[in-house]
Structure 1
Amino acid sequence: MDRFWNWKQDGESRQLTISGVIAPNSWVNDDLSPRIFQDELNAGQGSIDLWINSPGGDCTAASQIYTMLKNYPGDVNVKISGIAASAASVIAMAGTTVSMAPTAMLMIHNPLTSVGGQEKDLDQAIQMLAETKEAIINAYELKTSLPRAKIAAMMDDETWMNVNKAIELGFADRMLGENLDTTDCYSYSDKQSQLIVLNKLQPQTKSTVSIKSLQRRLSLLSHQL
């Protein structure tokens, strides 16, 4: 078993670290590692601070970890300390909140595989990659509310994002070290709400109304609430 994660309990706080290559030998035929991860996840209660510094790795492992974290009853606060690339970026999308260090990077791209054999084997690999991409887009779309076509194009281009770009596009929520007002139980972000609305409007309209005009309308609406 290749252990790329580690748990630490500090009082009531639980800390999970994912570093290095995710499942370098894959979880496709590995029943033990996912079961151990799930058991350790369920061994405690309360919120989890998940620190990520990984270039990516196995899509199957990332998918399973993403699903386990999304189903966890407590908050999962993702903190990207260095890099969350490829499969690691998928895991990051499971966070209740996603924070990035000022120097951190997040990268998304198309899934990769290596295959040999007959023509039908290559055709099956192509279909598998296409479906894998659609599955990954599901995680990014749920987090960012960006149009699927835009996310697909970003993956085609192998898109790298610093913390500011990641926050702008909805892949992250804040920068680590920012002063946050923790006295309010509920918060409302005008900027994030406007980004979500604009992202929904852009691909669905052929109107010549400018983005700035839409932003002004949203600003007027927010003042009326």
Structure 2
Amino acid sequence: MKKFWNWVKNEDGRTLHLDGVIAEESWFGDEVTPKQFKSELNNDGGNITVWINSPGGDVFAASQIYNMLMDYKGDVTVKIDGIAASAASVIAMAGGEVHMSPVSMMMIHNPMTIAFGDTAEMKKAIQMLSEVKESIINAYELKTGLSRTKLSHMMDDESWFNSKKAVELGFADAIMFQEESNQDSSDEGVIYNKMAVVNSFLHKLPQKKTGTDITVLDKRLDLLKF
């Protein structure tokens, strides 16, 4: 049976690597695979680190993994080193701490399906997709604290987040390989940087305060309005 996960145990604890498409061949309609994953997850204790690099896949398989990780007794740290898109982003929400590589990406969008049949069957498919979307929003809302309306609009737009944007929105908690002091960019820091640029610019201007100089100064300062 094909698995898209891989466990590695070392002196630092257990590490789980989730690579590739979720539900590729083995998850869809397979009740054995989720059981095996749960068995391997609970085969040992301690805190675990989950590395994710996946474009997504089957949302129900992702939901099972999410639930298993949320229910796990130890601490779960998620690290995204490539991409956590679609269903994989749902799994990422199970991390007590979610860390993203500076060059990684996260993507959320509406669930999709293939339907066949008459009008009644199409309506059933639409209703099912609507309920699945609400269940996915539950996971995003729990992690980010964002409103359901905002999350819904983000999914409608198929939103892509780099690591900084993901941290800003609450989908992630930190950016890997950065010092803790650099993780939080406050408004005060931004204002200070702007003032530093302006002050440096002013020191380079002629000290003569003629009417012409003031006009030039006003025009140049307009260029500094970011």
TM-score calculated relative to the size of structure 1: 0.79
Cα distance between partner residues in 1 of 2:20 and 2:164: 24
Name the CA shift for 1:26/1:125 in 2 (closer, same or farther; >3 Å): farther
Q: Shift of residue 10 of structure 1? A: 0.5
Report the residue type matching 1:168 in the other structure: E
Cα distance between partner residues in 2 of 1:85 and 1:8: 23
Tell me the alpha carbon deviations over residues 144-186 of structure 1, each in whole angstroms, 9 at most, x when there is no partner. Answer: 00000000000000000000000000000000112349xxxxx
Q: Which runs of 5+ in 2 are unaligned?
A: 187-226
Cα distance between partner residues in 1 of 2:103 and 2:52: 13
* 1:90 counterpart = 2:90: yes
Tell me the alpha carbon deviations over residues 83-118 of structure 1, each in whole angstroms, 9 at most, x when there is no partner. Answer: 000000000000010000000000000000011111
Name the CA shift for 1:153/1:26 in 2 (closer, same or farther; >3 Å): farther
Matches within 5 A, 1:68-79: 68-79=68-79
When the two chains are superposed, the root-mean-square deviation of aligned CA atoms in Å is: 1.6
Q: Give the corresponding residue for 1:33.
A: 33
Contact 1:26–1:61 (8 Å) recurs in 2: no
Q: Shift of residue 11 of structure 1? A: 2.3
Q: Shift of residue 61 of structure 1? A: 0.4
TM-score calculated relative to the size of structure 2: 0.78
Report the structure number with the largest CA radius of gyration: 2
Report the residue type matching 1:105 in the other structure: M
Cα distance between partner residues in 1 of 2:177 and 2:77: 14
Name the CA shift for 1:127/1:16 in 2 (closer, same or farther; >3 Å): same
Tell me whether 17-26 or 60-69 shows the greater mean CA deviation: 17-26
Q: Shift of residue 121 of structure 1? A: 1.0
Q: Which runs of 5+ in 1 are unaligned?
A: 182-188, 192-225
Equivalent pairs counted in the alignment come to 184
Identity %: 57
Q: Give the corresponding residue for 1:15.
A: 15
Matches within 5 A, 1:158-173: 158-173=158-173
Cα distance between partner residues in 2 of 1:58 and 1:123: 21
Q: Give the corresponding residue for 2:114.
A: 114
Q: Shift of residue 2 of structure 1? A: 2.7
Report the residue type matching 2:159 in the other structure: T
Name the CA shift for 1:15/1:109 in 2 (closer, same or farther; >3 Å): same
